[in-house]
Amino acid sequence: MACMVFELLTGDLLFDPHKSSKAKTGKAAYTRDDDHLAQMIELLGSFPKKVAVKGKYSRDFFNRKVRCVPLADDRYVRSERGPRSRSRWTRRALPPSFAVSHHSFTTALPPLCSLSHTQGKMMKIRNLKDWQLIDVLRDKYCLPTADAAPLADLLGQMLAFNPERRATAQECLAHAWFDSIREAQQLER
């Protein structure tokens, strides 16, 4: 419903996803679905991790990994892990005085390595540029902030990623954005 409201007010689609052109391999780098999710993230912010990794096809779009990123050199690498095993870190050319704890590896990681939590991040599209809905309404459609803020708030509530937090039809109709319509109806009577 939020996409239809946006389209009726602006004449443009809120989300207009495309697939990437074919790379040298003959396969597209990302699909239309990848682009659609990326546009949603750019406009509304990141998916909650719980929602991003919960879906039936989430493995096709979002990472589920926690990995080690070397800061200075490549001495520490993540080892292969089984389907239900804990993450293990292997070491290459470590000084003998250093020992990695297998029980609490996050506190024992060397300063050359930092944890990069990629869980819930897009796999195929990584460079996302945030453009909040209120900014789109102000910058692209030249709406004054007094009009853009309530509309962005209403659409944001309607587009909430978590269905439990999404506004109901009754809540939407009671939203402040409709106050001007209600006032105009009162004046006509």
Residue 70, classed as helix, strand or coil, is strand
Please list the residues that pair with 66 across neighbouring strands. 117
Residue 68, classed as helix, strand or coil, is strand
User: For 49-79, how does the pLDDT look when each residue is reduced to its tens digit (9 = 90+)?
Assistant: 777 777 888 888 887 764 444 444 444 444 4
Between the CA of residue 23 and those of 9, 19, 28, 34, 68, what are the distances in Å? 37, 11, 6, 16, 29
User: For 35-49, how does the pLDDT look when each residue is reduced to its tens digit (9 = 90+)?
Assistant: 999 999 999 998 887
Give the tokens for residue 65.
Answer: 């990994």
Sign of CA dihedral 87, 90, 96, 98: negative
- 144 or 107: which leads in pLDDT: 144
User: For 69-113, how does the pLDDT look when each residue is reduced to its tens digit (9 = 90+)?
Assistant: 444 444 444 444 444 444 444 444 444 444 443 333 444 444 444
Amino acid 114: pLDDT: 41
Closest CA to 47 of 35, 37, 57: 37
